[in-house]
Amino acid sequence: MIDLLYVVLIAPFADFAFMQRALFGSLLLSLGACPVGVFLMLRRMSLSGDAMAHGILPGAAAGFLFFGLEILPMTIGGLIAGAIVALGAGAVSRFTVQREDASMAAFYLISLALGVLLVSMRGSSVDLMHVLFGTVLALDNEALALIGGIVAVTLVVLFVFWRALVAECLDPLFLRSVSRLGTPAHFIFLGLVVLNLVGGFQALGTLLSVGLMMLPAASARFWTSRVEPMCVLAVLIGFASCLSGLLLSYHAALPSGPAIILSAGVVYFVSIMFGTRGALRARAIRHRHRIA
């Protein structure tokens, strides 16, 4: 039994360096992206996060067009493109009659089409799949250093601006009336979203990077209503999803990125049913009230 557990759970990481790097990189991503996902969810900006994830594609594709699959040019390009999409959509919603969700959707569609076009100009279908879905098993030391730097910046910013970010989630108008941090906190938060999406792009691609950000956060929402425990629980769910997804991809010969996101999806559906704030608990409470 012990030998079987070793072969199933430990041997893939003990025997292969690429599995160790994949696990370390994905755990780092969870540590930074999952708390950001909690704030995205509380702000009711979950789909905006998905739009910004696609928004980094043209910049990453431009870096690929000129330098190939080099991390630094693609990262810089992704940061620039993500910032343009976030600021552009915000400016359109602020200075026109269009709401931010509609402007974000427009920028997202344009960005996705432009990014695919740029990749197709130089690369093959394999390169396009790499950009769209990532290659977590191909993370090297340079990519891990980049992800580690993004996570460090994220944690420091969250620590420094925690109260302002929480207050803006609950009542942004009140925060702006009592503090000058209202507007800066919003743009700082958007910067964190873009940073973590760029970090996730290295491992999961533009189409799946937002999944590791949002699914653990959405799952944690069914277990607690307090922000601090929700962030901690989201990180733990992210850790479990990465570990189980990598093991599933190894033993079943499945793509690693989708396996990680599907593992997070399983936790999400379990949380819907069995969470302390999930469907079965709510139904039981309503049943007791009827009896009373």
Please give the torsion angle defined by the CA atoms of residues 195, 198, 199 and 205, in that order, rounded to the nearest 10 degrees. Answer: 150
90/265: higher pLDDT: 265
How buried is residue 241: exposed, middle or buried, by Cβ count under 10 Å (0-12/13-18/19+)? buried
Residues in the chain: 292
* pLDDT for position 67: 76
- How confident is residue 139, by pLDDT bands cut at 50, 70 and 90? confident
Q: Residues near 263 by Cβ (< 8 Å), separated by ≥ 6?
A: 240, 241, 242, 244, 245, 248
Give the model's confidence band at 271: pLDDT under 50 very low, under 70 low, under 90 confident, else very high: very high
Whether residue 56 has pLDDT greater than 70: yes
Confidence check: pLDDT of 252 > 60: yes
pLDDT at 217 > cutoff 70: yes
Spans of all domains in the chain: 2-291
pLDDT at 187: 80
Cα–Cα dist 151/45, whole Å: 21
pLDDT at 54: 75
Helix axes 125-133, 100-122, angle to 10 degrees: 150
Taking 60 as the threshold, does the pLDDT of residue 74 lie above it?
yes
pLDDT of the residue at 124: 64
First-to-last C-alpha distance (Å) of the chain: 49
Over residues 19-28, the pLDDT tens digits come to: 999 999 999 9
The CATH H-level (homologous superfamily) assignment of domain 2-291 is ABC transporter involved in vitamin B12 uptake, BtuC (1.10.3470.10)
pLDDT at residue 97, as a whole number? 67
CA distance 105 to 68: 28
Distance (Å) of CA 252 to CA 81, 87, 183, 255, 256: 36, 42, 48, 9, 10
In the prediction, which pLDDT does 247 show? 94
